[in-house]
Amino acid sequence: MSHTVVTAGQVASLDWLVLGPVLAPAAGAVLVLVVDAVAPRLARLHSLIGVLALVVGAALAFPTALGSAASPRRSLCLPAPDGACLYEAGPVAGALQVAGLLAALVVLLLAWPAREAAGSVRDDVPSGDSPSEDPPLRGGPAVLVSLVLAATAGAAGVAAAHDLGSWLVALELATLPAIALVALRATPEAGRGALALLTTSLVSFALVVLGAALWLLSTGEAVFSGAAAATALADADRRAVLLLGLLFLLAGVGFKLSLVPFHVWTPQAYAGGTEPVATFLAATSKVAALAALLVVLGPLASAASAGGPAAGGAAPVLVVVGIVAAVSMTVGNLVALVQDDPVRLLAWSTIAQAGWVVLPLSVATSQAAQASGSYLLAYVVATLVAFVVVHLVARTPGGTAPSRGRTLAAYTGLLRSRPVLGGALGLALLSLAGLPPGVLGLVAKVVALRPVVGDEQWLLALVAVANAVLGIAVYLRWFAVLLRDPAPATGATDDGDESLAELVDGPVPRPALAALLLSGAVLVAASVLPQLVLGLLG
């Protein structure tokens, strides 16, 4: 379904279905606010609208993910310059859109509002919470749902935005609501986390704007184009400006991707927000960051693969990408190895995994983008499962709010006392470590290493392999806790087992259980057949 619109005297094509992955969550955010203004007590309706908007967006993104790289889906195409399309999504962008939308769906299920015993709905208490556990979230479910949908719309948009203006707007739309999400918890720790995220976001925005300006100055085009990059790289004077601009863009996006040395905000923001918000930061926000980075580095890869004078011009940026990847995975693993708070451990794990995500991008080929996207998909699936279990364990009755679920000791014997939760978390940890039966993580690491080895970057490959071993120690340390004898205070039954029915009727709300089953089923299926996830990117 396409239309034409006139902009500045030019005719632009407009395909609403192609724009659907962005428009669906954006429209859902507006509708949630309208419904909240009319019927503020219908908290579950707000969440239902959000879930439906994300399902529609993901359904519209699937054809793009399953399409061909030779024929990407385009919209907002202008007759000049050279018929450039401002929105262009191939299989990699489509797969990232699907991942971001479905990850946000899991977040909304975790944050589903609870029903009080009297049958009324409290707008200020998310699923599984009680006033004795956490302070009520500011604004209620409508604000939380609308912020998640708005940020997800930005994440979907930045994956396909190919002009500077749309790219910048979509990138910040994916970032600014996340700051508010952290602050919704209304605690001093949440305030510190939101302030850290706000500060780094302002610095990040300044860097990406400066980088975009240098791109425009060096190429003369406001569109991310391989031809424009090749022309600039072939000229010595323009090459220096372009490379400087790309470094600024890399640094700005590096803040959002939690790459070292732009990572300091990550543990504070994760620990300050609720578990669903930390899940959003670890999944959908990282999808947005990688999507933005691929849009920036894509023209560089095209210019380098075309050969000629521009082939070697991209080398300085690629070297920086490789160094940042190696340092990120090393620092992230070393600090994660000594963490006792599972949320902070997963935060430092995100930093280490971000290094793996950008590792293939140190090689300027189209296969590098596919490898990077494949690793991110594997990371998102496993991390979603881990955060879902962390959220559920943190909401287990008994204990005090500061300690419940926020130490590794809270997971002692989880495989025996609650085998459904323990099994899901165990598989997620093994997948992140790249150990069987978490085959998805192992295959993803091989895919990420392949471009580096193919380009004969042996030192970088050696650092990656060493960090793969170090990462095993990080996750096996937590996994070993799951295997211990359960302590009496964990709430285990007399025979040390708990059925799925008890999980449903007991401390686990049904929406949260649905989030566990959805993410866990994808992880199990991908561990048996990794191509189900990795195959989305060719």
Residue 172, pLDDT above cutoff 70: yes
- The H-or-E segment that residue 537 falls in is none
Residue 385, pLDDT above cutoff 70: yes
Cβ atoms within 10 Å of 169's Cβ, excluding its own: 15
**Choice among 5-9, 19-23, 481-485 with the minimum mean pLDDT:** 5-9
Residue 368's pLDDT is 87
Query: Which residues lie across from 75 on neighbouring strands?
Result: 87
What is the per-residue pLDDT across 8-35, written as a single tens digit (0 to 9) for each? 444 456 777 888 899 999 999 999 999 9
Q: Which of 158, 114, 127 is nearest to 25 (CA)?
A: 158
- The whole-angstrom separation of Cα 422 and Cα 424 is 6
What is the per-residue pLDDT across 339-361, written as a single tens digit (0 to 9) for each? 989 999 999 999 999 999 999 99
CB 50 within 8 A of CB 149: yes
Sign (positive or negative) of CA dihedral 331, 336, 337, 338: positive
With bands split at pLDDT 50, 70 and 90, how would you rate the model's confidence at 115?
low
- The whole-angstrom separation of Cα 18 and Cα 6 is 19
What is the per-residue pLDDT across 371-381, written as a single tens digit (0 to 9) for each? 999 999 999 99
What is the per-residue pLDDT across 206-223, written as a single tens digit (0 to 9) for each? 999 999 999 999 888 888
What is the per-residue pLDDT across 304-332, written as a single tens digit (0 to 9) for each? 666 555 556 677 888 899 999 999 999 99
Burial 443-477 (b: 16+ CB within 10 A, else e): bbbebbbbbbeebebeebbebbeebbebbbebbeb
Report strand pairing: 121-126 vs 85-89.
unpaired
Q: Which residues contact 359 (CB under 8 A, 6 or more apart)?
A: 322, 325, 329, 372, 375, 448, 449, 452, 460, 464
Give the mean pLDDT of 263-283: 90
- The whole-angstrom separation of Cα 27 and Cα 35 is 12
Give the mean pLDDT of 475-483: 91
